[in-house]
Amino acid sequence: MMENRSLDKKVMIVALLYLILAGAYLLVIPIAILLYLKQRWYVATSIERTFMYFLVFFFFPGLLVLSPFVNFRPRRRQIEV
């Protein structure tokens, strides 16, 4: 009986760990990436842009989950007369 409780506890810990990692991979890190991309998109160097492309490729599932809520339209130009 004692072994069963120990096994249940280990299973719960593993399930919680998977849930935390999935949440980080699908929500937390992609939100941070989107904020980073929004801040640096127009001023990034070529090496930094390559790093941005890598992050988008690596965290694509999470970015796909968040994509309906993101608006990356270009900024309005200020026309001076």
pLDDT over threshold 70, residue 2: no
| Residue 1 clears pLDDT 60, i.e. is over it | no
Q: How many CB atoms are closer than 10 A to CB 62?
A: 21
Asked if 52 contacts 37 with a C-beta cutoff of 8 angstroms, the reply is yes
Question: Side chain identity at 19, as an amino acid letter?
Answer: L
Q: Which residue has the tokens 């390559």?
A: 50
For 24-41, what is the mean pLDDT? 93
Mean pLDDT computed over 25-38: 93
pTM above 0.85, yes or no: no
Helix (H, G, I), strand (E, B) or coil at 45: coil
